[in-house]
Amino acid sequence: MAVDARGKAHVIKLRPGARFETHHGYIAHDAVIGQPWGSVIESSLGHPYLFVPPSIADLITHIKRSSQVIYPKDSAYILMRLNVRPGARVLECGCGSGGLTTALAHAVAPHGHVFSQDVRADFIALAQRNLERVGLAQHVTFLHGDCTQGFPVPEPVDAVFLDLPTPEICLVQARAVLKDGGFFGALVPTTNQVVNLLRALEQARFGLVEVEEILLRRYKPVPERLRPQDRMVAHTGYLVFARAIVKPLPTPPTADEAEPTDLA
């Protein structure tokens, strides 16, 4: 990843003989290859660029997109809540441009696998190119299909994540391929969608439901005037998590139904 003096970052794949072109001039990839990470290299017009390896957050932030991606602030938390780990098998529905797919594939490698389904072939094609670009495509199988018709995965998965405007329409299908006790998550942008999903979860053998939101505020890292940056990534979506259950817990008795306490 190349970062200029103003902090603008460019994620590039180094190839012998290629050039990194900018409005500040160009840098030959050969001038970077073999140098230690953290080196500063000047462009043909004398502008310095710092070269460091990109993080998964960098890859997601700078992904080529045709739709909104799930931000790193949400995707990192999603991985933890879904217990995504090396060797896990995860189903994602709604791959978009492949932002969350990238995070999932990195987390399940080297022996796990991600199944990513979308109804739009153009989204699948873009997501696949993005995964190939970062060397993670071998950990993902893309499925072209309508979620209401089910998910053609070869065996039950450990976790399911739905990134759809109406995830409630395929909850039954998602539960059918999710292991008992498995992890469920979804992201929707409005409270109306959350309410619809909550009602559907009650009917589809899911329990331990939680609704959360993550806000991120950055600060200017200047010791003499430390303060928040002028812009922040605030609301990006509501996160809904649940667990696949066999039967719900019994409803606790109300105060009126509880047995009276003998105070005598």
Give the domain ranges of the chain: 2-54, 57-244
pLDDT at 255: 65
Average pLDDT for consecutive 10-residue bins of the chain (264 residues)?
88 90 91 93 92 88 76 93 97 93 96 96 94 94 95 96 95 96 96 96 93 92 92 87 87 66 56
CATH fold of 57-244 reads: Rossmann fold (3.40.50)
> Parallel, antiparallel, or unpaired: how do β-strands 48-51 and 89-93 relate?
unpaired
Between CA 243 and CA 231 the distance in angstroms is 35
The pair of three-digit structure tokens given for residue 75, joined into one six-digit string:
């995707």
CATH fold of 2-54 reads: Vcp-like ATPase; Chain A, domain 2 (3.10.330)
pLDDT at 240: 97
Sheet holding 206-212, edge to edge: 140-144, 113-118, 89-93, 157-162, 178-188, 238-244, 206-212
pLDDT at 65: 73
pLDDT at 256: 64
pLDDT at 173: 96
pLDDT at 214: 92
The pair of three-digit structure tokens given for residue 137, joined into one six-digit string:
């495509």
Tell me the CA distances in angstroms from 80 to 75, 103, 201, 231, 250, one per residue in order: 9, 11, 21, 27, 28
Cis peptide, bond prior to residue 110, ω within 30 of zero = yes
Alpha-helical (H) ranges within 98-226 are 99-108, 121-133, 171-177, 191-203
Between CA 35 and CA 41 the distance in angstroms is 9
Q: Report pTM.
A: 0.83
Between CA 114 and CA 159 the distance in angstroms is 10
Whether 2-54 shares its CATH topology with 57-244 is answered: no
